Structure 1
Amino acid sequence: MKVLVTGHKGYIGTVLVPKLVALGYDVKGLDSDLFADCTFGTEVQEIPWIKKDIRDVTSEDVKGVDAIIHLAGLSNDPLGDLDPNLTYAINYQASVKLAKLAKEAGVSRFIFSSSCSNYGAGGEDLLTENSAFNPVTPYGRSKVMVEQDVSPMAGPTFSPVFLRNATVYGVSPRLRFDLVLNNLVAWAFTSGRVFIKSDGSPWRPIVHVEDVAQAFIAVLHAPRESVHNQAFNVGDTKENYRVRELADMVKATVPGCHIEYAKDAGPDKRCYRVDCQKILGMVAEFAPQWTAAKGAKELYDAYKETGLRLEEFEGIRYKRIDHIKDLIESGRLDRTLRWNKVQAISDHQERACA
C-alpha cells in the first residue's frame, strides 16, 4: 500500500513514519520543512518526499496513492494567532482542497489529524464525539471546519476518518515545547520551576505521541466499515488532568523543583475533558501504552541526556512562533509562510520525489 503522509517532518510525523516503514508500507512524504533547524536528539528518518507547501498540492502529488495521512498545518494556537487568515488558508482551505484532489485521484482512505481543541471551552463534562463543538482559537475552528466540509465527501470510493487527538506529549525528533506536559517538564528541568501560565484549573486530555502514531496505523489497518466517515477522540479517558495535577506530577518527577504560577495567571478558556471509549471499542489495534507519569519521566530523561537549557526551549530554535518570526525577519520566509525564491532554489536539490 502506498501512503502519503503530509507534515511527515513534524512532531507526530517523525514518530509515525518510521513505524509505517517498519511495517512495510510504501511511504512518501510532503512537507514544507519549516522546522528543519529544530531537530531534537534523534535525526529525522529520511523517505522519498516532496518539499512543498500544503497549499500548493496538485493532483500529481496524490496520483497512485492508496491512503493519505494528513498531518500538515499550523500546529498550535500562537502560530494560529500570528495571522488567522493564514491559519484558515493552510489548516482549512488547503486541507479541503487536498481531500477533493484525493477523492478525484481515487485515494480510498483519508485520515485527518483533527484535535480535541474542537471542543474548546467544553467545561467540566466528559465529552464524546457527539458533543457540541466550541472552539475558541483559529486553530480549533479550522479543525472543525475541515471535518464539516470533508465529511460530506464520503462515498463508496472515498473514506475519510477524523482523529481528534488529545493534547500530545512525549519525545520526538521534532519535539514541541509548547505542549503542556513537555513544557512543564522543560521548565522544571532547566530552571527548577514548574512554571504554570494559567491558574492550573483547566482540564486537558493528554496522549503520548507514540500512542497517536499507533492510532493512525490502527485506523489505516481497520476494516472500512469500522471507521468510515467517523470521528474518534484519541487518548485514554483516564488521562484527563487539570493542569495543576500535571504540575504536581512533574514536581514528583524532577528533583529539587517547585511549582510557580505566573503573576498574571488566570483561568484558561480552553478547558475540556474527553471520553475515548469509542476508538477503543471500534478500532481493534488501538490500545494506549503510556501514562502522564511515565511520559514525564521519559521527558526528564531526554532533557537530561541532551543537556537542554532554558534559553534553547524558550528561544528561536524550539519555540515555534519565535522560530517562524525569525525566518520571516531573516528573509528566508515571506509573510505568507512560503520559502522565498532564493531559499527555494537552494533547497531544490533536497527534493526527492517518489
Structure 2
Amino acid sequence: MKVLVTGHRGYIGSVLTALLLEKGHDVTGYDSDLYRACTFTGELAEVPEFESDVRDASVEDLRGFDAVIHLAGLSNDPLGDYRPGLTDAINCKASVRLAALAKTAGVPRFLFASSCSTYGAAGQDFLDETAAFNPVTPYGASKVDVELAVAPMADESFSPTFIRASTAYGLSPRLRFDLVLNNLTAWAFTTGEVYLKSDGTPWRPIVHVEDIAAAYVAAMTADRQLVHNKAFNVGLTTENYQMREIADMVKDVVPGSRVDFAPDAGPDTRCYRVDCGHIARTLHAFKPQWTARRGVEQLYGAFCDSGLTLDDFEGERFKRIAHIKKLIREGSIDEDLRRVHARARAIA
C-alpha cells in the first residue's frame, strides 16, 4: 500500500515507518521534525517526506495514498498543559481538518492515533471500547474530540479507524523519557532510585512501541469491514499494572536500585484498566510480542550500552517539554511551535 505517515520521525512514527518498509509498503512521511536533535539510538529510516507542519497540509499533499496514518501532534500531558489552546489547534482541529482533506483527496483509509487516556479517571473496572469517555487532561480531551468529529465522516469511500494505544514504553530511535516505564527505568539507572511521583496505586495499561506499530499495520491491512469506523484498545489485557508493580519490576532488573516516593506523592486521577479483547478477536494478524518485564530489560541494556547519564535523562535533549522551550528561547520556533524561516515544503 502507498501510505502517508504523519509524525513519522517521532517516538512511535520512527518505529512504525521502519516496520511498514519491512512489510513492503510504500511510505511517505509528513513531519515538522521539531526533535531532529533528539535521536537516542540508531538511525531513522529515510523515506520521501514533507518537512512541514500538519496544520499546513493540503488536499494535494494527500492525493494518491491508500491510507493515512495520523500520529503527529503534541505527544504528552506536559506539552498539552503548556498551552492548552495549542493542544486544541494541533491535536484536535488540525487532525479533524486532515481527515476531511484525506476524504476529499479520495484516501480510502484514515487511521488516527487516539489513546486509552480518553478513559481518564475510570477506577478499577476493565474498560472495553464501549466505555464512556472521561479524559482528565487537554491531551486526552483532544483525542476524544477528534474521534467524535471524524466518526461521522465515515461512508462507503472513507473508512476511519481509531487506534487507542495503551501507555507506550520501549526503545525507539526517538526515545521518550516522559513515559512511565521508560522514566522509572531511566531514574533507576542514573540515580539508583525508582522514583514514583504518585502513591503507586493508580492503574495504567502499557504496551511496547513495537506492538503499537504492529497494531497499525494490522488495522491498515485488515478487511475493511473489520475496522471501518471502529476503535481498538491496543495492548494485552494482562498488561495492566499499578505503578508500584512497574516500579518493583524496575527494581528487580536494575542492580542496586530501590523504590522511592516523591515527598508529595499521592493518588493520580489518571487511573484506568482496559480490556484489549476486541483487537485480539478481530485482528488476528496482531500478535503482541512484549511484556513490561522484557521492556525494562531492553531499556536497561540500551542504557548500559549508551552510558546514559542523569544530565541526558533530565536535560533538554530528551525531555519533550524542555526541548520545545529551548527551541523557543533560541528562536528556532515561535510560540505557536512553528519553525522560524522554515524551508519551503517539498517532497524530497
Q: Which TM bucket (shorter chain)?
A: over 0.9
2:98 paired residue number: 98
Question: What is the CA distance between 1:46 and its match in structure 2?
Answer: 1.1
What are structure 1's unaligned runs of at least 5 residues?
none
1:248 paired residue number: 248
Q: Alignment identity in percent?
A: 62
Correspondence 1:214-253 to 2 at 5 A:
214-253=214-253
2:347 paired residue number: 353
1:6 paired residue number: 6
1:80 paired residue number: 80
Counterparts of 1:109 and 1:200 in 2: how far apart (Å)?
40
2:111 paired residue number: 111
Question: What is the CA distance between 1:199 and its match in structure 2?
Answer: 0.7
2:285 paired residue number: 285
Counterparts of 1:314 and 1:119 in 2: how far apart (Å)?
29
Question: What is the CA distance between 1:45 and its match in structure 2?
Answer: 1.2
Counterparts of 2:258 and 2:346 in 1: how far apart (Å)?
48
Counterparts of 1:68 and 1:122 in 2: how far apart (Å)?
31
The one-letter amino acid paired with 1:290 is W
1:19 paired residue number: 19
The one-letter amino acid paired with 2:191 is S
Question: What is the CA distance between 1:136 and its match in structure 2?
Answer: 0.4
Counterparts of 2:105 and 2:57 in 1: how far apart (Å)?
13
TM-score of the aligned structures, taking structure 2 as reference length: 0.99
**In the alignment, is the contact (CA less than 8 A) between 1:121 and 1:269 conserved in 2?**
yes
1:335 paired residue number: 335
Counterparts of 1:282 and 1:191 in 2: how far apart (Å)?
43
Counterparts of 2:283 and 2:41 in 1: how far apart (Å)?
32
**In the alignment, is the contact (CA less than 8 A) between 1:5 and 1:68 conserved in 2?**
yes
Question: What is the CA distance between 1:43 and its match in structure 2?
Answer: 1.2
Counterparts of 1:68 and 1:181 in 2: how far apart (Å)?
29
Counterparts of 2:198 and 2:176 in 1: how far apart (Å)?
19
Cα distance per residue 1:147-202 (max 9 Å; x no partner): 00000000000000000000000000000000000000000000000001111111
Counterparts of 1:228 and 1:31 in 2: how far apart (Å)?
26
Question: What is the CA distance between 1:41 and its match in structure 2?
Answer: 1.1
The one-letter amino acid paired with 1:44 is L
Question: What is the CA distance between 1:352 and its match in structure 2?
Answer: 5.6
2:58 paired residue number: 58
1:262 aligned counterpart, secondary structure: strand
Counterparts of 1:247 and 1:352 in 2: how far apart (Å)?
45
The CA RMSD measured in Å over matched residues stands at 0.8
Correspondence 1:293-308 to 2 at 5 A:
293-308=293-308
Counterparts of 1:329 and 1:266 in 2: how far apart (Å)?
33
2:260 aligned counterpart, secondary structure: strand
Counterparts of 2:323 and 2:206 in 1: how far apart (Å)?
25
The one-letter amino acid paired with 2:316 is I
Question: What is the CA distance between 1:146 and its match in structure 2?
Answer: 0.3
Counterparts of 1:105 and 1:320 in 2: how far apart (Å)?
33
Aligned length: 348
Counterparts of 2:320 and 2:6 in 1: how far apart (Å)?
18
Question: What is the CA distance between 1:221 and its match in structure 2?
Answer: 1.1
**In the alignment, is the contact (CA less than 8 A) between 1:222 and 1:284 conserved in 2?**
no
Counterparts of 1:122 and 1:333 in 2: how far apart (Å)?
37
Cα distance per residue 1:113-153 (max 9 Å; x no partner): 10000000011110110001000000000000000000000
Counterparts of 2:166 and 2:116 in 1: how far apart (Å)?
5
1:114 aligned counterpart, secondary structure: strand
Counterparts of 2:47 and 2:234 in 1: how far apart (Å)?
26
Counterparts of 1:22 and 1:289 in 2: how far apart (Å)?
17
2:269 aligned counterpart, secondary structure: coil
Correspondence 1:32-181 to 2 at 5 A:
32-181=32-181
Counterparts of 2:53 and 2:324 in 1: how far apart (Å)?
15
Cα distance per residue 1:270-322 (max 9 Å; x no partner): 00000000000011101111000010000000011000001111110001000
Counterparts of 1:241 and 1:311 in 2: how far apart (Å)?
29
Question: What is the CA distance between 1:63 and its match in structure 2?
Answer: 1.1
What are structure 2's unaligned runs of at least 5 residues?
none
